[in-house]
Amino acid sequence: MATSDDRGVRHLTDTFTEELRNAGIYGNEHVVTYENSLNTLYGASCRALYILRLLGHPRVSVLGGGYEGWVQDGHHTSSEIQQTVRGSFQPKWTPSMWKGKTDVAEAMGDPNTVLLDVIVYCFKGARASNTYLALKDAGFENVSNYFASWNEWSRDDKLEIDSKLL
């Protein structure tokens, strides 16, 4: 995602809706996301959970311990390839989970905003999905993800960058 404007949101929604349908997702099943190993992809399972919930899927979880943990715990696995039937997933945008560039700029001007408590961010929103999930699990209610993050912010010369932190 390059931008958090309407065009970027539409692109994200259309792209992932198509991928979810191709993966056989309908929107009523329980989707469990996981990592193949915990030393690669660095949070792809959290990013998938975030995107699924952002697009309105009500039943998504991350498999604690990932695939390796599942196997170590002695759970069943199979190398059989299942035939996937195209799903009919219908996205329902969840605005409370999302922040765009304008939202972040406004929040930075509000002295009552603690950026981490309200809006998590990183380079492109992927690893911030880990922080989003951790904060939600810790009981924080007012958490959202600036998914376009630094990738978008750094390209706009009109936006403030605190050079003291660099």
- In the three-class reduction of DSSP (H, G, I as helix; E, B as strand; rest coil), residue 1 is classed as coil
Q: Residue 18: how many CB atoms within 10 A of its CB?
A: 12
Q: How far is CA 99 from the centre of its chain?
A: 12
Q: Which domains does the chain have, with CATH numbers?
A: 6-165 (3.40.250)
Which tokens sit at 133? Answer: 């999930």
- Model pLDDT, residue 162: 73
pLDDT at 31 exceeding the cut of 80: yes
pLDDT tens, position by position, 45-94: 888 999 999 999 999 999 988 888 899 999 999 999 989 999 999 999 99
- Model pLDDT, residue 125: 76
Phi, psi of 41 (to 5 degrees): 65, -25
| CA pair distance 149, 143, nearest whole angstrom | 15
